[in-house]
Structure 1
Amino acid sequence: MEKEFWLSKWKENSIAFHESETNPLLLKYFEELSLGKDSRIFIPLCGKTLDIAWFLSNGYRVAGAELVEMAIQQLFQELGVEPKISQVGKLILYSAKGIDIFVGDIFNLSKEILGPVDAVYDRAALVALPQETRLRYSAHLTQITNKAPQLLITYEYDQTKLAGPPFSISAEEVNLHYKNAYTVKNLLSQEIASGLKGHSAKENVWKLY
């Protein structure tokens, strides 16, 4: 997706992808990663997800990457936290106690800039990227996080009937991205009760470790 696409979504407040509560699949399956408190969780393409507040309130630290600065300005406003803002390479860093969000192109985020992370929570990144970008993204994510374990959420549906994002990602594709670096375990595959934009769809939860 082009930057202008996502920027227009935020400017128009057309952000149906922004959930109004903590993701229930995160609440149900995060313990699968067996992380101690104070672990640092990386959330790629994080937006202003309420999952960040959940992590912070439960004693975890958060690192995130987001293309649209407006989303991160709103995130800190809603957290009620005043960020320190600085330039780090080609990225803008918004930081406060327990939280570091890097604004800009995630491909400009290096392992050195990101720093050590204990796990990755990918609810909205892989599914947001078009097919031609996903292989590059998954390889980059694996590299900058030093193969940190992941909780990954994907959708699966007939892509001919519905244009993404979120894009449909099959089990075969998840394995294509990650089987060389991780053990890939499917934790859940269920029909979305209300469908996805009016179409039948499944939601899948993966543990990569």
Structure 2
Amino acid sequence: MDAEFWHSRWAENRIGFHLSDINPVLTKFWPTLNTTRSDTVLVPMCGKSVDLAWLAEKHDNVVGIELSDIAVRAFFSEHFYTPMVTSIGNGQTLYEFDEITIHCGDFFATRVEPVDVVYDRAALIAMPENMRKMYTEHLLSMVKAGGRILLVTLDYPQPEMDGPPFSVTKNEVEQLFAGCKITHLDRDDADESHPRRQRGLSRFAEEVWLIEL
């Protein structure tokens, strides 16, 4: 899966993964991370998520990374923010407004100052299996010792649906974050009325994890 796939999704407004409201998983489980206002928060592959604004109400430094400039510009426009925009080379553009900074460019070519906390709702599950180890290693390289990650994954029979979003099993989470303390916070199994189930999936669940470095 290459960058053009995601550029096309945003250009064609095929963004079913975008939530128009704050993710209830975030509001319910963020307190388990025991954060402080001074903690720097990283949101990889943030899109135009309204979760960024929610996090900015609670933290002085919220950092997003997003490939699509359409998504980044839409985020600031929809919140009536006028960011300072700076080209920083290597195909990267920096958007800054008050507590929020978004690095627009390739995730794997982006480096940020080490952060305290990560919120990953849609990044790991956007990665095909052959990229997930590389993604996790790069993500962990940007987190301080003692940092925490709130991770959301999906569990469903992968042969029954093409991703993204992809299924990431419990065993894979444990392998990817080997050496970290992993706490399973929640599993929400969808009933037959769920849109994914109605499209033919025999099961579909959202899982929430706390990863501690």
TM class by smaller structure: over 0.9
Shift of 1:160: 0.5
The count of residues paired between Structure 1 and Structure 2 equals 205
> Scaled by the length of structure 1, what TM-score is found?
0.93
Equivalent runs, 1:170-181 vs 2, <5 Å = 170-180=169-179
Distance across 2 between alignment mates of 1:9 and 1:195: 20
> Scaled by the length of structure 2, what TM-score is found?
0.92
Shift of 1:61: 2.5
Range 56-65 or range 43-52, more displaced: 56-65
Contact 1:195–1:201 (Cα < 8 Å) also in 2: no
Q: Which of residues 206, 210, 213 in structure 2 aligns to 1:207? A: 210
Contact 2:94–2:104 (Cα < 8 Å) also in 1: yes
The residue matched to 2:158 in structure 1 has which SS?
coil
Amino acid paired to 1:161:
E
Amino acid paired to 1:138:
T
Distance across 2 between alignment mates of 1:176 and 1:152: 14
Range 49-58 or range 124-133, more displaced: 49-58
Which sections of structure 1, spanning at least 5 residues, go unmatched? none
User: Percent of aligned pairs with the same residue?
Assistant: 35
Distance across 2 between alignment mates of 1:56 and 1:140: 24
The residue matched to 2:187 in structure 1 has which SS?
strand
Contact 2:116–2:144 (Cα < 8 Å) also in 1: no
Distance across 2 between alignment mates of 1:116 and 1:88: 18
Contact 2:44–2:123 (Cα < 8 Å) also in 1: yes
Q: Which of residues 184, 190, 204 in structure 2 aligns to 1:186? A: 184
Structure 1 segments of 4+ aligned residues over 3 angstroms from their partners: none
**Residue matched to 1:137:** 135
Equivalent runs, 1:43-122 vs 2, <5 Å = 43-90=43-90, 91-110=92-111, 114-122=112-120
Contact 1:65–1:106 (Cα < 8 Å) also in 2: yes
Distance across 1 between alignment mates of 2:117 and 2:129: 24
Which sections of structure 2, spanning at least 5 residues, go unmatched? none
